[in-house]
Amino acid sequence: MGEKNIKMVIEYDGTNYAGFQRQSKHPTIQAELEIALTTILREKIKVTGSGRTDAGVHALYQVINFKTTKDCNLNRLQYSLNSLLSDDISVKKTEEVNLSFHARRSAVWREYKYFVLNKSYPSPFFKKYAYLVTSELDIEKMKEAAHFLIGTHDFSSFTVLASRPENPERTIYEFTCERKDFPVERLVVFKIQANAFLHNMVRVMLGTLLKVGSGNLAPEEVKRILETRDRTQAGPTVAAKGLFLTYVSYE
């Protein structure tokens, strides 16, 4: 009975979790998956994720993989896993892949979206999934500011200094901003695609762009902030609840 490599696409509400990566004292998505899979397959399972989403961050398209020596029906495995997991986590797709596939190292780019509720009062429907900004946001100015961040740069200004890696260069392929007017809500949706992200990078970039949209920072100042490589020059780290991992590409 040979070893198999199983790939899964999962989604989760990160509100009640300390992020994806396993921690000793707090509930995490990885820990929940490993406990459930170990129970079902009756062997110790270690899960690898495409990205380590922070505490409170959600995912619509997180990719994981794990190795197993058990011969299992994938449809039955997915059904059993969804039955055992909490309502916060769901498996969307399951397939067997080449043994060389690695959810993180094989990924080519990731996509995140950030949702801002832009109106004068909070919404009971979006309170867990969007960040409230009561001042009117200037979409065009935020688009102009976001353009300075596209490309390959040192993003030290937009990460946690203590966890900055030796090479803080990342490549942003796309950074968009648009208003979505729903019947009863006003959402501003940011989409960022990059080869990889630094710790808190998306949330700090968004905190900076929201200063631009609120009129407290000129769009061209974002270019200067980027070039300083100084975290103190950038905006605040916005709340995790508005952030979703929405796609991971392996092509």
What residues act catalytically?
Answer: 54
- The residues that bridge with 180 in the sheet, in sequence order, are 187
Give whole-number Cα distances, 91 to 9, 83, 94, in Å: 6, 10, 8
DSSP string, 125-165: TTTTTSEE--SPP-HHHHHHHHHTT-EEEE-GGGS-GGG--
User: Is residue 94 within 8 Å of 6, Cβ to Cβ?
Assistant: yes
User: Is residue 49 within 8 Å of 64, Cβ to Cβ?
Assistant: yes
Going by C-alpha positions, the residue among 110, 72, 73, 64 that lies closest to residue 91 is 64
